[in-house]
Amino acid sequence: MPTLRANFHDLTREALRLLTVRWGFSPVHAARLWRYVYLDRIEAWELMTDLPVRYRDRAAAELALTHPEIAVETHSSDGFTRKYLLALADDRRIETVLMRFTGRVTACISSQAGCAMGCVFCATGQMGFTRHLSAGEIVAQALHVNRVLHSLNPGERLRNIVLMGMGEPLHNYDAVMTATEILCDTAGLSLGTKQITLSTVGVVPGIVRLADEGRPIHLAVSLHGATQEERAALVPVAKKWPLDALMEACRYYIAKQQRRIFYEWTLIEGKNDTAENAHAVGRLLHGQDAQVNLIPLNPTAGFAGIPTGQEAARRFQTILAEYNLPSTIRQRRGIDIAAGCGQLANAR
């Protein structure tokens, strides 16, 4: 019976070094192997000709250097967004999005297959939870995007990652943090830690842990409602971690990390986009080092809401400014291929 090989991409550079030493080889070989994969983009063992054959054979026998297959690829009509439905080794499907706007290349990657949080307006939430992704499966999405970029323009590489794809990253904390460590490794993809943004729907213990561990990644919190009742109607997990507890965790994070929080607010016509709603957000966040990202609702099959129009969104923004809260209105891109916020699902 063939032995089950570990996923190479699950390993940090230090873990690979320790494994190599355990096998009785020099750490120098581990460093070279790491460079082959993360800097030279070489994934075929036989092409790693600088490695001693015995080490290469041992690594190939123990470690799988595979990447997810592209099941479906779609491009937005404006040419800025590409969405990939990727098939994992067990044939679970996840989505990864490449956004290639002038001067800014960003990958939106998934942390879980499905999601357990059940936000009512979100296609991933509507499909339910299947399983957590491993660190390697998260890293593999970034590598996939990097390969695409390299094929489009050899000089171009991934500069920004948002963990805003399928899944709640703080529900899969350890794998996500290992993945960010691998992605930021200066001997590899070398993403600046400030180039990674993690979006949570409000998993309070995860926010506190993030603050305590001093992980220098940007934090975005999906708010959507400024009272407990309104928020819980859109984000069921608010019943477990109420608004008061969430705000306390956010203030703790800002104080401990000395870092701004980005609050995401999906604008739904007639539901949470009135002047009263805007004042409630202003009062709730007043005094925090915060920025509000306003995202007109993106359509999904399972939610009947309507996106707020531009004019009403701008009115909302003007009211936030009265509370000294900076805000942006997210441009709607990739909607024609269901690659916008809240639209990712594993449709074949």
Tell me which residues touch ligand SF4 (CB under 6 A): 115, 117-119, 122, 124-125, 166-168, 201, 342
Q: How many CB atoms lie within 10 A of CB 187?
A: 11
Residue closer to ligand SF4 by CB (options 106, 124) is: 124
In terms of DSSP bridges, do strands 160-163 and 104-108 run parallel, antiparallel, or are they unpaired?
A: parallel
Residue closer to ligand SF4 by CB (options 59, 122) is: 122
Nearest to 301, CA basis, from 333, 344, 237: 344
CB 121 to ligand SF4: min, Å: 8
Written as one letter, the residue type at 11 is L
Place of tokens 């449709």: 347
Nearest to 231, CA basis, from 263, 258, 198: 263
Asked if residues 308 and 296 have their Cβ atoms less than 8 Å apart, the reply is yes
Residue closer to ligand SF4 by CB (options 20, 300) is: 300
Kindly tell me the burial class for residue 256, based on how many C-beta atoms sit within 10 Å of its own C-beta (0-12, 13-18, 19 or more): middle
Please tell me the distance from the alpha carbon of residue 41 to that of residue 37, in angstroms, as a whole number.
Answer: 5
Q: Which of 95, 137, 230, 264 is catalytic?
A: 95
CB 130 to ligand SF4: min, Å: 12
Q: Give catalytic status of residue 250 as yes or no.
A: no
Residue closer to ligand SF4 by CB (options 11, 164) is: 164
CB 303 to ligand SF4: min, Å: 11
**CA distances from residue 225 to 36, 139, 204 in whole angstroms, order as listed:** 47, 32, 16
Using CB atoms, what's the residue nearest to ligand SF4? 125
Please tell me the distance from the alpha carbon of residue 216 to that of residue 153, in angstroms, as a whole number.
Answer: 30
CB 214 to ligand SF4: min, Å: 24
Q: Give catalytic status of residue 108 as yes or no.
A: no
Nearest to 343, CA basis, from 307, 202, 335: 335
CB 238 to ligand SF4: min, Å: 11
Residue closer to ligand SF4 by CB (options 257, 300) is: 300
Give the residue numbers marked as catalytic: 95, 341
